Structures are given as structure tokens and as C-alpha cells.
């Protein structure tokens, strides 16, 4: 007779479940915001360094974005329709012009001598999140 052993013993599963549950409960949430810029939405926290679509600003300048889709102070969450009124995210510009990796688009039709090669590098602005209000 073949004896099958369970992958997890019930006791080990119960203690691991309790450990996950109680440690998850004790964690403290940080304040965060979901902001929209360049047609994309980003989840940011204070102190994060982010790459966003190119903004026409100088290095060291501060930019205030009011296109905030959702904001949380760690306990409550406010979701806007489409934006939260009065919510703002302050960014400090680190590098105004940064280029992303080169993306190559190559098209070819076999046996016809037809080739097309197009390269593209997206320009970004590197910014640090100073404050979420």
C-alpha cells in the first residue's frame, strides 16, 4: 500500500497563516498618491524618485501637479472622479532631460528588397516627490 504524505502539515500551515495574518495587521501604511502625467498613472510616495514624460522645466525647479487620481494619508483613501479636489503632489526636478533606451522598429518584406528601420528614444524628466498634500 502506498502512503501519501501531505505537502504541508496542518500545524505548519496554521502557524504560517497566523504569522502572515498578524504581521500584516501590524504593518503601518504610508501616505501615497496616484498621479496622472503624460497619459500614465503612477503610484508615488514621499521621497520616491520617478521618471515621467518630459516636462519643459529647469533643473532644481519645483513642480506642483494637481492631477491626482487618488490620495491616502495612511489611514483613509480618497478617490477622485477623475481627480481629487485640493490634492497636490510637489516634485523637485533632478534631471530635466534624460533619454530612455533606444527602441528599434524594423519592418521587412521577404524577397522584395523592402526594408524599413526606425529608431526612437523617449525623453524623460527625473523628479523626486517632495510632498503629498
pLDDT at 56: 93
DSSP-assigned beta bridge partners for residue 89: 65, 132
pLDDT at 29: 77
CA distance 40 to 20: 33
Give the CA angle between residues 20, 24, 28 to the nearest 5°: 160
- Report mean pLDDT in 10-residue bins for the chain, 133 residues: 55 57 62 94 94 94 96 91 95 94 97 97 96 92
pLDDT at 7: 55
pLDDT at 20: 63
pLDDT at 110: 95
pLDDT at 3: 57
Burial class from Cβ neighbours inside 10 Å (0-12, 13-18, 19+) for residue 127 reads buried
Amino acid at each position: 500500500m502506498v502512503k501519501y504524505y501531505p505537502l504541508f502539515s496542518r500545524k505548519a500551515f496554521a502557524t504560517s497563516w497566523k504569522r502572515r495574518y498578524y504581521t500584516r495587521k501590524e504593518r503601518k501604511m504610508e501616505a501615497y498618491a496616484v498621479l496622472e502625467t503624460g497619459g500614465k498613472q503612477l503610484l508615488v510616495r514621499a521621497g520616491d524618485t520617478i521618471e515621467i514624460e518630459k516636462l519643459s522645466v529647469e533643473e532644481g525647479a519645483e513642480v506642483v501637479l494637481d492631477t491626482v487620481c487618488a490620495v491616502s494619508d495612511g489611514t483613509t483613501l480618497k478617490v477622485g472622479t477623475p481627480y481629487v479636489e485640493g490634492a497636490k503632489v510637489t516634485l523637485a526636478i533632478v534631471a530635466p532631460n534624460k533619454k530612455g533606451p533606444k527602441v528599434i522598429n524594423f519592418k521587412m518584406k521577404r524577397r522584395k528588397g523592402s526594408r524599413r528601420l526606425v529608431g526612437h528614444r523617449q525623453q524623460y524628466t527625473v523628479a523626486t516627490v517632495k510632498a503629498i498634500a
